[in-house]
Copies of this chain bind each other. A is one copy, B any other.
Amino acid sequence: MPTTPQTTIHHDHDTCVSGALTRAEALCASRGTKLTPIRRQVLELVWSGHRPRGAYAILDDMKVDGKRVAPLTVYRALDFLVENGLVHRLESLNAYIGCPSPDHAHPGQFLVCRDCGDAIELNDQRVSAAIADSARARGFQIDRPTVEVRGLCPVCQNRPHPSHSPADTERPEARQPVTRQKAES
């Protein structure tokens, strides 16, 4: 019985997260922007769980020595991370997820699983091109295309009954940020 908590293959999550942090630091250094301790911590928490997380879920983990930081602190850090392409915002979930390739421009296309809540990032040129064409034909000037496809990921298709979130077993705080979906168990 597979209890694979991730949609992708098993991986060394610690390495995965630390790699993202290292890349982020290098990128910020090269751009002259500052990855402050707060921003770094928020980035780490976005990556923890390896799936979309809501701002308040991150906030809950930000309690440092019993002191809960203000929502604004988290939002400001998230704004910075999004602007620098280190994190994507998932509009349909009101949640945030770490970007695996922050070094180049990324249109932001996602396959969002309605069961496990994971989001697989795409980078499909055909989709981008088709959207660009369609917009151009209507004289619409694109800022930022958003593609978020809701459905069922391969792993969850093979799970007999969705229940809730299997990844909760991995990290207790990694609860579903997905509020839009209706439980259909």
Residues of A within 8 A of B (CB): 91-92, 109, 111, 113-114, 120, 122, 124, 126-127, 129-131, 133-135, 138-154, 157, 180
**Are the CB atoms of B146 and A148 closer together than 8 Å?**
yes
Whose C-beta in chain B lies nearest to the C-beta of A153? Answer: B140
A134 — which chain B residues lie within 8 A by C-beta?
A: 109, 111, 122, 124, 126-127
Contact B146 A149 (CB under 8 A): yes
Complex Cα spacing A60 to B149, Å: 32
Can you spell out 5 A-B residue pairs with CB atoms less than 8 angstroms apart? Answer: A127-B131, A139-B157, A140-B154, A141-B151, A146-B150
Q: Quick one: which of B124, B131, B143, B154 contacts A139, CB cutoff 8 A?
A: B154
- Report how far A126 CA is from B157 CA in the complex, Å: 26
Q: Is the CB of A124 within 8 A of B130?
A: yes
Q: B147 and A131: CB pair below 8 A? A: yes
| A131-B149, A146-B149 known; A141-B157 Cβ under 8 A | yes
Give every chain B residue within 8 A of A180 (Cβ-Cβ). Answer: 91
Contact of B150 with A138 in the complex, beta carbons under 8 Å: no
